[in-house]
Chains A and B, each alone.
Chain A
Amino acid sequence: MSTTPPLPAVAGIGLRSPHVARVRRDKPAIGWLEVHSENYFADGGAALAALEAIRTDYPLSLHGVGLSLGSADRLDTGHLSRLKRLAQRLEPAIVSEHLCWGRIDGRHLNDLLPLPFTREALALCCDRIDAAQAALRRPLLIENISAYLRFDADAMTEWEFVAAVARRTGCKLLFDVNNVYVNAVNHEFDPLAYLAAIPGDAVAEIHLAGFDASGPCLVDTHGARVAPPVWALYRATIDRFGPKPTLIEWDTDLPALDVLLDEAAVAQAILEEADAVAA
């Protein structure tokens, strides 16, 4: 088991390569950093060395996008062993992945694709999460994704599916508030019903990001500031679960680091209000 201390219940940001040099130089005041695991699957080189240096100044979370835990193909043990090697090297506070699939018939689509909420998919995801947690020798955080379609075959709601995964595997949850909001709009449900179904003690991290509303569906682009209704849902989330480590994610049209730090400060203020109420 990892002996790295858990992430503090404060705001962090997703670290992307254009910001690495400035973070190394200026060491901005931010509670923790998260990176995409696969971006550091390198065998060596400057990017990995830079992250190792940054790692000494900030708590770190490894966020995976490619393990494809929900794929009907067998679990990619090569991918899992590269993740394990990286986790051993960086000793992150958290290792997370998504409740989704990406690979089928040997082809990886390198995207976070939606699962049908069937008993078969639930059983398969739980088996794969069990296997991944056993291989990594640590609990995984599993994140709910945004989806732009639903299947007729669904036998349960998304929140029932997510809660069942946590209950059966003992995994922790990375609760993405933006994804809940996007899905609530796209599939017309009450996000508070989702929130009510999630076991709060399983939630170990929260994600916030911006979406794109220019098309017929909300699309989770991670390319904008957090939208006002998502902030409102975040407040409701913190009211229900208590303060949790909260990440600002930004991937598309990455702005200056200061914009991410501004967004993180908004989340930090909400976390501190909750702390004040509790005290």
Chain B
Amino acid sequence: MPLSLQEGYHVNSNTPSDEYLIPLQLTWSKGVLEPAGVVYPKPRLEKYQFSPDKPLSVFSGNFELLAKFTVPASAPAGPAAMTGKLRYQACNNTMCLAPKNMDVAIQLDIVK
């Protein structure tokens, strides 16, 4: 899943530096496939005006998430879809935006 963040903004990585920070998290609704984990990119450790001494674990710019699934034996062949949510919380150098849940969907074709 390719993602592109507006210049100047960052989101916390899936493993933020502070317990209070909201991680980037991709979750899937129940569907025809079994979620088998998400591979997140290696986060960057960046310092910001509001955190000049303690680097934060973030994603910025263009990055990709890799979602893994297994196909249950009971899954019917043919077109299918999986839907989920991408939860993120973004900041720039001076302010933060409220956390958001973005709908995500993938279309796939199950071949047996």
Are chains A and B native binding partners rather than an unrelated pairing? no
Name B residues whose Cβ lies closer than 8 Å to a Cβ of A: none
